[in-house]
Structure 1
Amino acid sequence: MRLAVLASGNGSNFEVIAQAVKDKKIDAELTLLFSDHRDAYVLQRGKNFEIPCESFELKEFPDKKSYETALLRLLQQYEVDLVVLAGYMRIIGKDLLAAFPNRIVNIHPALLPNFPGLHGIKDAYEAGVKETGVTIHYVDSGVDTGPIIAQGSVEIAKGDTLEDLEIKIHQVEHQLYPQVLAEIAKDFHLNKQ
């Protein structure tokens, strides 16, 4: 199975996935890292793993459709089987969804359907809930509304700061995402036989 990771920022989830592939914990080839920010630190992480890195920004295109067409061409060029979003801060458009039906996976830092959108950790923290967590789901045309694959919960302890909660969330993300991708890869290989 050939994976592409799409990321926009620091890339800690990318690094955990890349390490799991390198350690053969995920039976897949990480064929592409794409970032929609040319200066994103995740690109350095990709170079450290010697993974092909590509980057271009929406502002370099006349519209979102042109941007997504270029991204789709790139994914096809690398013969990608599964698109993995790891902090990719763009909504996936209909052309990409049509090209990769049930083959785009996202991680969200909350227990969906609660706290969808950009600020899942902060929204949960400010709501004063006792528990939040991490959701891994397939991407559909909504925002964080696709079919849920797995969830991991995180307790918000009395006295936790927002930073404490972010650390706890990232710990669960870094365990759960590689596990789920390993299962998806296993199923992919079984279905290919």
Structure 2
Amino acid sequence: MLKIAVLISGGGSNLKALLDAADDPDFPARIVCVGSDTDASGLDHARAAGVPVFIERPRDAATREEWGERLAAAIRQHGVDGSDDSLVVSAGLMRILPAGFVRAFSPRLINTHPALLPAFPGAHAVRDALAAGATRTGVTVHVIDEGVDTGPVLRQEAVDVRPGESEEDLHERMKQLERPLLVRTVRDIALGELELPGAG
């Protein structure tokens, strides 16, 4: 059984999708903890499901690397340590993870991103796609490396941009794709049907 730690910063819609999937006894993974860099509203999804939560605020650490070390220690307390039976999922964590944290867990450290990487990396991917006049964009699940949205792509799903569509409407349609894509990706990693580049 794959043990998962989920990291969030906001409402936790991807977290909720994973929690709902894990309710099925046949789902091959369990969420063992949920962490955040702030008192995120999405932590309530974990609390409602009886999953332990923790908050590690960057401002409580002297440096970014120290914050990463504290985050890693909190995750390891729940048995998620970067080994083959564990996975860290960044599901809306709105911070770049420190290099030391990435080295500790990657490639068993994945992220969702609202673009078809390598196009439109960074924090404003949907806005950037619209500003560039893109007619097609999508969502990506990728391994986190030490760059910004530069890790190996695991899965992608595309969506056509509608004429005159707002950033908010497009992002909402993309989230409808993102949630099941993340669930399928985690399931396939757990079953060994999707290999993580560099694992083992």
TM-score range, shorter chain: over 0.9
Residues 109 and 24 (structure 1), Cα distance of their counterparts in 2 relative to 1, 3 Å cut:
farther
**TM-score scaled to structure 1, two decimals?**
0.93
Instruction: Report if the CA contact (8 A) 2:56-2:70 is conserved.
Output: no
Q: Which amino acid aligns with 1:142?
A: G
Equivalence for 1:176: 181
CA distance in 1, matches of 2:25, 2:158: 26
The whole-number CA distance in structure 2 between the counterparts of 1:108 and 1:89 is: 11
Residues 108-147 of structure 1 correspond to what in structure 2 (within 5 A)?
Answer: 108-147=113-152
- What is the CA distance between 1:23 and its match in structure 2? 2.0
Q: 1:48-90: CA deviations, max 9, x gaps?
A: 1111010121001111121111111111111111100000111
SS at match of 2:192: helix
Match of 2:47 in 1: 47
Q: Give CA-to-partner distance per residue, 1:110-156, whole Å, 9 cap, x none.
A: 00011000011111112111000001000101000000000000100
Change (3 A) 1:144 1:25: farther
Name the counterpart of 2:65.
65
Amino acid paired to 2:34 = L
**More helix as a share of residues:** 1
Match of 1:166 in 2: 171
Percent pairwise identity: 36
TM-score computed with the length of structure 2 as normaliser: 0.90
User: For the Cα contact (< 8 Å) 1:137–1:150, is it kept in 2?
Assistant: yes
Matched residues in 1 for 2:28 and 2:117: separation?
Answer: 28
Alpha-carbon distance in structure 2 between the residues aligned to 1:25 and 1:117: 35
CA distance in 2, matches of 1:141, 1:156: 30
Helix, strand or coil for the counterpart of 1:26?
coil
Please tell me the residue identity of whatever aligns with 1:90.
R
Gaps of 5+ in 1: none
1:32-111 matched pairs, under 5 angstroms: 32-38=33-39, 40-80=40-80, 81-111=86-116
What residue is the counterpart of 1:31 in the other structure? 32
In the alignment, which residue of structure 1 is the partner of 2:83? Answer: none
Asked whether the equivalents of residues 136 and 149 of structure 1 are also in contact (C-alpha less than 8 Å), the reply is: yes
> Aligned-residue CA RMSD in angstroms?
1.5
Task: Say whether the 8 Å CA contact 1:26–1:178 is kept in structure 2.
Answer: no
Determine whether 1:12 maps to 2:13: yes
Q: In the alignment, is the contact (CA less than 8 A) between 2:136 and 2:161 conserved in 1?
A: yes
